[in-house]
Amino acid sequence: MSTWIVIGVLCAGTVGLKAIGPATLGGRTPPDQAISVIALVAPAILTSLVLYETLSDSHSGLTIDARVVGLGVGGAAALARLPMIAIVALAAGGTALA
Terminal-residue alpha carbon distance, the chain: 41
CB contact at 8 A, 73 and 94: yes
Q: Give the model confidence (pLDDT) of 45-56 as tens digits.
A: 998 998 888 888
Evaluated on CA atoms 10, 16, 21, 24, the torsion sign reads: negative
The predicted-structure confidence for 24-47, as pLDDT tens digits, reads as follows 888 888 889 988 998 999 999 998
> What is the per-residue pLDDT for 1?
65
Cα–Cα distance for residue pair 38/30, rounded to 1 Å: 10
pTM greater than the 0.75 cutoff: no
Q: Is 73 exposed, middle or buried (0-12, 13-18, 19+ CB in 10 A)?
A: buried
